[in-house]
Amino acid sequence: MSRIQDALKKAEEESRAAGKTVLDQPLEKDHQVIVPVAEPEPVRQPEAADDSSEPQKVEPQLDEVVSRKSVSDVPTFTGRKTSQKIDLNPAFLDEHLVSLTEPFSLAAEQVKKLRTKIILNAPERLPHKTILVTSAVPREGKTTIALNLALSLAQGLDEYVLLVDADFRKPEISKYLGIEFNRGLSNYLTSEMDLSSVLVKTDLSRLTILPMGMAPAKPSELLASERMKHLIEDLQSRYQDRYIIFDTTSLMSTTEADILASQVDGIIIVVRYGETDREVVKQALKNIDREKILGIVFNGADYRTSSFYYQETR
């Protein structure tokens, strides 16, 4: 049994022992609750576990099973397909990843509501199931929402997820997971390496991650390149049974979000409740196709006093 299954089982047992779960708590009606998560503080750096074991070789593909904080020393193999595999160790995860750290909390329940709305939208508005998660300005909590949505989808019965870190300016996914990667999307775009060599499998079997990799010199040029365009087309055709979620920069900060917004099926906008100016959000939305906007997530509010969590758009 994986660490995630152990953690979920333990959380469920503790919840039952207490006599109730979040499902017993009265919920507001649809569109009237808010995920009370905010941009987390930097992750504490626990001591790395012993990494003395050799990776197991499996033909025709080599999987490197890693259960420590850093995978930055994973070797790059030439002339064959390689992949990494990691354990999503609860000890290293940021506490705001409630879909794993507090799976029975009210916050996690609201992420499930968002997941449900995404799934219901899929037949009509997401033909290739590609979704961009962005915000108007930085520090809105977009990466927190992207990660929690990916984790929640991957815990479903039918959905598979590929989470792509396409924020070349300030990549956050590795920090939230407490793991460092030495290669990823930027390496793929600037070389001829095979896609499978930069994909990272997790012990949550339905979740795969494509990390950012090394910081590139020309991020907007890379995301606008033909190789990136072909990658998205490849992902759309190769993974017809899964959602592909892109985490990228904010709309008002760089052009990268605009570039990706033109290539995906749907867009989720994250807004920091009570802080982001309405006019700033309106200005940010002018450069993207509003028909692609699936909805707006209001992040970081007190669900007991706020008006709504998720606003669906048409």
- The CATH number of the domain holding residue 20 is 3.40.50.300
pLDDT in tens, 227-263: 999 999 988 888 778 999 999 999 998 999 999 999 9
Give the residue among 199, 201, 174, 175 at the shortest CA–CA distance from 185: 199
Please determine, for residue 4, whether its predicted confidence score (pLDDT) is greater than 90: no
Q: Give a yes or no: residue 22 inside a domain.
A: yes
- Distance of alpha carbon 278 from alpha carbon 281, whole angstroms: 5
Which residue from 235, 289, 286, 240 is spatially nearest to 262, judged by alpha carbons? 289
pTM for the whole structure: 0.71
List the single range of 35-49, 54-68, 220-234, 283-297 with lowest mean pLDDT: 54-68
In a domain, 24, yes or no: yes
25-34 pLDDT, tens digit per residue, is: 333 333 333 4
Q: Which domain holds residue 248?
A: 3-38+64-199+224-312
Residue 7 domain-assigned?
yes
CB 198, CB 182: distance < 8 Å:
no
Residue 95 lies in a domain: yes
Q: Are 23 and 109 in contact (CB under 8 A)?
A: yes
Residues 6+ apart with CB under 8 A from 242: 129, 159, 160, 161, 162, 206
Q: How many domains does the chain have?
A: 1
Instruction: Confirm whether 208 is domain-assigned.
Output: no
Residue 181 domain-assigned? yes
* Residue 45 falls inside a structural domain: no
- For 120-124, what is the mean pLDDT? 85
194 touches 238 (CB < 8 A): no
Q: Within a domain: residue 205?
A: no
How many other C-beta atoms are found inside a 10 Å radius of the C-beta of residue 29?
A: 7
